[in-house]
A and B are shown apart, each in its own frame.
Chain A
Amino acid sequence: MSPSLGYNDGDGADNDRRPATAGQGAEAPVKLAVRNVNHTFISANGKRTEALTQVNLEVRDHEFVAIVGPSGCGKSTLLNIVSGLGRPTSGEVSLDGLPMSGISHRIGYISQVDSLLPWRTVLANVELGLEIKGVPKKQRREIARSLIDKTGLSGFEDSFPAELSGGMKKRVGIIRCLAMDPEIIFMDEPFGALDVFTRETLQDEILRIWQETRKTIVFVTHDLSEAITLADRVVLMTARPSTVKSQYPIPIPRPRSAFETHLDPQFFELQRLIWKDLKSEVIKAQGGGSEKF
């Protein structure tokens, strides 16, 4: 494996300033920029926890970026900040070059827990975002129905979330987000709680959606193989206080499928390469955390 494959410079605050991938992202404009973001939690009893320190990250238009790191490393905190749910202690997030303040309808968010409204049917759940936006009923019904059909959920329009399997709920959550036609989608470990087979079919679904819509996607996961399977670029975060450790372009050709990608020789090489880098952080997160506090 040639070392030129990954930019692996460890401690740089500006290790993201380089073009992401030669193929896809280099000429595309920067969609999302995270600059010098720090975030410290102060708990009720006054204990300070430094979650993020000097995080710098650029995501280009139409790029699929996966963020990987040991659990508890602040990946979700970072997503909350870039999605506008939380504000960083310091630093700046900009969208299309303009500083972001608060929640934007241009951003879609798919969370770890499926946050479908349990009293709404599948159809009504998919319509939710459009309803909030004030899209007329007929139009939003049309959009929702076509998305439901495309995802293989037809026949379940009138089912309630409690009647669906975990994988189906995730699908509904994904198309609920797509219905709003966001420019950029954040996904926070969306498939964490699912079994391997469901996971793989949903990964294929995400790959298909990206192929069709070319939306900018930022996907947070602690599963390295998932990150490699899906993304154009894998961003590695350190243990807490977390920062970007290194970034790896994933040159596996598209269109991809989860199954085929797992058999690609590049996949193994990349996994080996990134895992070596990630392992030390995982160990730090497991052992190092306790002695600090």
Chain B
Amino acid sequence: MRNFSRGEAGVMLLRALLVVLLAAGWELGVRRKLIDPFFFSRPSLILADLNKILVSGEILPHLKITLKEAFIGLAAGTVSGIVVAFVLGRLELLARVLDPIMVALYGIPKLALGPLFILWFGVGIKSKIFMSAIMVFFLIFFNTYAGYRNVDRSLVNAVRLMGGSGGQILRKVILPSCVPWILAGLRAALGASLLGALVGEYIGAEAGLGWMIQSAGGMYDTTRVMSCIVLLTAIMALGNVGLKITEKRLLKWQPTE
């Protein structure tokens, strides 16, 4: 156990070292005029810019809006994905009717729907939430549905033989069996929810990180674009850590090896 954690710490140290080395190489490359800062900026400038926009609070309203869009989109897409998967899991005929339609809808590049969403929901937060939710929905839906199909029949039968009602079977067998599948879906959905919000903002918005990147890019402010990207990376990393912790808690029953 101790050895393991020490190994883990070692890996983290090496990882940090690699990031620092890359940043140092980048910085050095720019200073030696090997890399054009117009296109790539440089780490010290990015850090200074990040510090500025965070301390001044300039970035905060944009950050808040994008996170809000992504989070509501994630929640709505997850819940609706699970509900629809369970309904179709239950109603096999409907599932067979809808199957190719769902696959076709999933295949539409969501970016193409952007103008429609703006038309329907306006340039405000709603169109971004919708974009985010729809991207999340399909990921969660397909995963949960596969999970529903994979529920161990012998477990369902065992609970039925104990006199379990349909609702009890759903709560005590089907939902917990689907949890690993839902979590796998969430892992992909986490990125998709943020992507949906950003893409929505690219198409038309008045605020948000996506809007900020877009407008900074328009002004050739590479440093600001990079600052926003660093921020997004940090958000994703945090989200993933949160998800990992959730997974560990919810899936502690799964054999580790």
Contacts and interface: CB of A to CB of B under 8 A. Distances in A.
Interface of A: 83-85, 103-105, 107, 109, 111, 113, 115, 117-120, 128-129, 131-133, 160-163, 180
B3 interface: no
Contacts of B179: 119
B160 A85 contact: yes
Interface in B168-189: 168, 172-173, 176, 179
Contact of A103 (B155, B160, B176, B254): B160
Contact of A119 (B157, B164, B253): B253
A129 B168 CA distance: 11
B159 interface: yes
A185 B167 CA distance: 25
Given A115-B154, A117-B155, A120-B253, A107 B161 contact: yes
B170 to A, nearest CB: 13
Given A117-B172, A119-B179, A120-B253, A132 B157 contact: no
B254 A132 contact: no
29 contacts: A83-B161, A84-B161, A85-B157, A85-B161, A103-B163, A104-B163, A105-B162, A105-B163, A111-B154, A111-B158, A113-B154, A115-B154, A115-B158, A117-B173, A117-B176, A118-B254, A119-B179, A128-B162, A128-B172, A131-B172, A132-B162, A132-B164, A132-B168, A132-B172, A160-B252, A161-B253, A162-B254, A163-B255, A180-B162
A42 to B, nearest CB: 19
Nearest to B179: A119
7 smallest beta-carbon distances between A and B, as pairs: A115-B158, A160-B253, A162-B255, A129-B162, A119-B253, A115-B154, A109-B161
A5 to B, nearest CB: 35
Interface string B141-171: 0000000000010110111111110001000
Contacts of A119: 176, 179, 253
Contacts of B168: 132
- Size category of the B interface is 20 to 34
Contacts of A83: 161
A161 to B, nearest CB: 8
A103 B157 CA distance: 11
Interface of B: 152, 154-155, 157-164, 168, 172-173, 176, 179, 252-255
- Does more than half of chain A's interface fall in helix, strand or loop, or is it mixed? loop
A128 B159 contact: yes
Given A119-B253, A160-B253, A162-B254, A103 B159 contact: no
Nearest to B252: A160
Contacts of A129: 162-163
B161 A133 contact: no
B18 to A, nearest CB: 36
Contacts of B252: 160
Given A128-B159, A133-B163, 14 more contacts: A84-B161, A103-B160, A105-B163, A115-B157, A117-B172, A117-B173, A118-B254, A119-B179, A129-B162, A132-B168, A133-B162, A160-B253, A162-B254, A163-B255
Contacts of A115: 152, 154-155, 157-158
| Residue in B152, B158, B162, B168 with the greatest tally of chain A CB atoms within 10 Å | B162
Contacts of B157: 85, 111, 115
B159 to A, nearest CB: 7
A109 B173 CA distance: 17
B222 to A, nearest CB: 49
B158 A109 contact: yes
| Residue in A104, A113, A120, A163 with the greatest tally of chain B CB atoms within 10 Å | A113
A115 B158 CA distance: 6
A16 to B, nearest CB: 25
Nearest to A107: B161
